[in-house]
């Protein structure tokens, strides 16, 4: 990946930060993008040669400004996401809109920022981080599940549109990954989750990062429109 620039959204912690580390380790120049400036500075300081940009995926203006600052991007990892959980019967429209705007619309607008340069150079890698629940569903997360399922549809459509320009578009669907977000879950819920994972362990951010690194590589050049499940067998 030498001479390639990779931009990772939601890169200040968790899966995004692990992806940034993995891509940098493979030789890419990495741009970390997220909302939290302090976390970005800390994460970037731990990755030699990396830079960072502030981005709010719910704001088209912020997305445009961030990519203008980042410059030409060869590898885009759409990882940033938010949750606003609640049963559909009582879900507020604002909570629906916020999740769709960040997780799905924001990812689409980020992709639009990189397509022209990728098409011009006839090379590009777009990797969308979806979720196991996009395929399996999950009660209390209708907005999040819809946004992540939307990413899969977006991935497959774009893969067909961009294939003639040697741009691959793939998705990764993580299962239960041990991050700051999942650390706050009740112990009994974690035990129940673990009982449904054939490999009998939770995933690590590095498990997702390894898949991202592969899909961004030259070796994955004949893979496009694919959804790679990285879930320990929790959903097949």
Question: Among all residues, which ones are annotated catalytic?
Answer: 144
Task: Provide the 8-state DSSP code for 228.
Answer: E
Q: Contact, 208 vs 177, CB < 8 A?
A: yes
- CB proximity list for 223: less than 8 A, separation 6 or greater: 168, 170, 215
Phi first, then psi, for residue 231 (nearest 5°) are -140, 10
**Cβ proximity of 32 and 47 under 8 Å:** yes
Residue in the block written with tokens 């694919």: 226
Q: How far apart are CA 126 and CA 152, in angstroms?
A: 12
Instruction: Round to whole Å and give the CA distance between 127 and 49.
Output: 22
Q: How far is CA 112 from CA 21, 115, 118, 223, in A?
A: 25, 5, 10, 21
The answer for 183, left when phi > 0, alpha when psi is -120 to 50, beta otherwise, is alpha
E strands, 99-225, are 124-129, 167-174
Structure-token pair, residue 168: 């691959």
């Amino acid at each position: 990946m030498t001479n390639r620039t990779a931009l990772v959204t939601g890169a200040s912690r968790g899966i995004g930060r692990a992806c940034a580390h993995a891509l940098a380790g493979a030789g890419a120049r990495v741009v970390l993008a997220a909302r939290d400036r302090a976390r970005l500075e800390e994460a970037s300081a731990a990755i030699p040669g990396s830079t960072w940009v502030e981005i709010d995926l719910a704001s088209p203006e912020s997305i445009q400004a961030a990519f203008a600052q980042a410059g030409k991007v060869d590898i885009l990892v759409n990882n940033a996401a938010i949750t606003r959980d609640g049963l559909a019967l009582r879900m507020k429209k604002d909570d629906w809109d916020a999740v769709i705007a960040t997780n799905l619309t924001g990812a689409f607008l980020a992709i639009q920022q990189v397509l022209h340069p990728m098409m011009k150079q006839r090379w590009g890698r777009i990797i969308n981080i979806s979720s196991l629940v996009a395929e399996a569903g999950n009660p209390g997360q209708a907005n999040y599940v819809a946004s992540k399922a939307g990413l899969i549809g977006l991935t497959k459509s774009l893969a067909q549109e961009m294939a003639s320009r040697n741009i691959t578009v793939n998705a990764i669907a993580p299962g239960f990954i041990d991050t700051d977000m999942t650390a706050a879950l009740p112990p009994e819920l974690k035990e129940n989750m673990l009982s449904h994972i054939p490999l009998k362990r939770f995933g690590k951010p590095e498990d997702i990062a390894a898949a991202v690194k592969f899909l961004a590589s030259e070796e994955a050049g004949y893979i496009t429109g694919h959804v790679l499940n990285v879930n320990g067998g929790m959903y097949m």
